[in-house]
Amino acid sequence: MDRIVRLDARQEAQLQRIAEEFVAKHHGDVMKALKEMIVLNGEMQERLEELGDRGPQFGRRPAYQ
């Protein structure tokens, strides 16, 4: 894991609500929902990496120039 994410109470409540809705869409099957979320996150990461590999790198410079 690259970093630890800390949430305040409002963010935690919002995340809980979204998670409950996602599990409900999978008819209460938590493992099925978790597996789908892992797949979706993997696909999103691949797309982000593809975008990062092409096009201008706005705001990115080598550390030492």
pLDDT category at 52 given cuts 50, 70, 90 is confident
3-state SS class at 52 = helix
Find where tokens 């990461």 sit.
45
Asked whether the predicted pLDDT for residue 44 surpasses 60, the reply is: yes
- List, for residues 21-40, the tens digit of each pLDDT value: 999 999 999 999 999 999 99
- The answer to whether the predicted template modeling score (pTM) of the entire model surpasses 0.75 is no
3-state secondary structure the chain: CCCCCCCCHHHHHHHHHHHHHHHHHCCCCHHHHHHHHHHHHHHHHHHHHHHHHCCCCCCCCCCCC
Give the start-to-end residue ranges of the domains of the chain.
9-52
